[in-house]
């Protein structure tokens, strides 16, 4: 009975809107661009919104991307694009006083190696040690902690052309929203992170434009894939010709697709 109750209580807990006591004010992605030997000076601005002390700790983790799996974090494995060893900060834990605003400063120093070329990254994990919510139900204590993952991205010696390719296109039914969507997988063959947007135009058998849509820009990491999902529920049953265009850094790559909705 306890395990059943715990499952139910955990579900209710997950759907609650929880107010974090410590928040990041200047975003969860920090991007830099420069050359070999350069030092980037960055900062993460934190605010304690509560009336009590809050202890936060800082650590580094590797974000590993691939075409065939979701992003994973690893603390003890360096990938080939890692910038973890370039990171330096004098403080890795801090107690924030009530209503205190704190600036966590760090440096990222690129090695003085002219052969370096591409995007490199590490992830700054910010852990708020004090639980933001804790309660006891029967014999169980339920607590939740805030953890932020701040991406630190560095483009080094950038001058490559965009190299984006269309990998696949599939029509799927979203079981959560019960909408029909088109999933298009884009492969980034470049050594640099690309901020990619996908645009689509759908034409019926008479050549009439029946739907035009585009996605928000998403980051496609080097030599990995990104799946873009677009809602096509408004399209009735039929066959369509589709013009698909991806763009990044003002460069465009297009392809034609033939889609049948039945």
Q: What is the mean pLDDT of residues 211-219?
A: 94
Side-chain half-sphere of 143: how many Cα atoms within 13 Å?
Answer: 9
Contact 33/155 with Cβ under 8 angstroms?
yes
The reported pLDDT for the residue numbered 12 is 38
The reported pLDDT for the residue numbered 160 is 80
Find tokens 């975003």 and name the residue: 27
> CA quadruple 213, 219, 224, 229: dihedral positive or negative?
negative
Q: Which of 178, 221, 213, 173 is nearest to 72 (CA)?
A: 221
The reported pLDDT for the residue numbered 205 is 93
Whether 190 shows a pLDDT value over 70: the answer reads yes
Containing 9, the helix (H) or strand (E) segment is helix 2-14
164-261 and 2-156 share a CATH fold: yes
> How does the average pLDDT of the chain come out, rounded?
86
pLDDT digits (tens, 9 = 90+) for 131-173: 555 554 455 455 567 889 999 999 999 878 899 999 999 998 8
The reported pLDDT for the residue numbered 43 is 97
The reported pLDDT for the residue numbered 143 is 54
The reported pLDDT for the residue numbered 130 is 67
The reported pLDDT for the residue numbered 61 is 94
CATH assignment, 164-261: 2.60.40.10
Top-confidence residue, 11 or 111:
111
Each domain of the chain, given as residue ranges in start order, spans 2-156, 164-261
| DSSP characters over 85-127 | GGEE-S-SEEEEPTT-EEEEEEEEE--S-TT--EEEEEEEEEE
- Given the candidates 2.60.40.10, 3.90.226.10, 3.40.50.970, 2.160.10.10, the CATH classification of the domain at 2-156 is 2.60.40.10
Contact 56/93 with Cβ under 8 angstroms?
yes
The reported pLDDT for the residue numbered 18 is 46
The reported pLDDT for the residue numbered 19 is 60
The reported pLDDT for the residue numbered 145 is 74
Q: What pTM, to 2 d.p., does this model score?
A: 0.81
């Amino acid at each position: 009975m306890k395990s059943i109750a715990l499952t139910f209580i955990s579900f209710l807990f997950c759907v609650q809107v929880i107010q974090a006591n410590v928040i990041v004010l200047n975003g969860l992605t920090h991007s830099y661009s420069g050359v070999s030997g350069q030092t980037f000076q960055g900062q993460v601005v934190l605010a304690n919104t509560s009336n009590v002390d809050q202890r936060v700790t800082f650590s580094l983790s590797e974000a590993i991307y691939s075409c065939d799996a979701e992003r994973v974090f690893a603390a003890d494995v360096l990938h080939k694009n890692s910038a973890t060893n370039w990171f330096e900060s004098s403080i890795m834990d801090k107690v924030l006083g009530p209503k205190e605003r704190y600036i966590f400063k760090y440096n990222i120093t690129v090695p003085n190696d002219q052969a370096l070329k591409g995007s490199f990254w590490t992830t700054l994990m910010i852990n708020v040690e004090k639980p933001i919510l804790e309660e006891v139900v029967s014999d169980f204590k339920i607590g939740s902690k805030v953890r932020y993952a701040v991406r630190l991205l560095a483009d080094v010696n950038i001058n490559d052309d965009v190299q984006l390719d269309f990998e696949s296109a599939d029509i799927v039914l979203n079981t959560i929203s019960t909408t029909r969507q088109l999933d298009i997988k884009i492969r980034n063959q470049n050594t640099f992170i690309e901020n990619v947007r996908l645009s689509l135009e759908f034409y019926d058998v008479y050549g009439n434009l029946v739907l035009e849509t585009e996605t928000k820009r998403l980051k496609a990491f080097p030599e990995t894939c990104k799946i873009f999902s677009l809602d096509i529920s408004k399209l009735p049953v039929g066959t369509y010709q589709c013009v698909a265009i991806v763009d990044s850094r003002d460069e465009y790559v297009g392809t034609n697709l033939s889609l049948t909705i039945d």
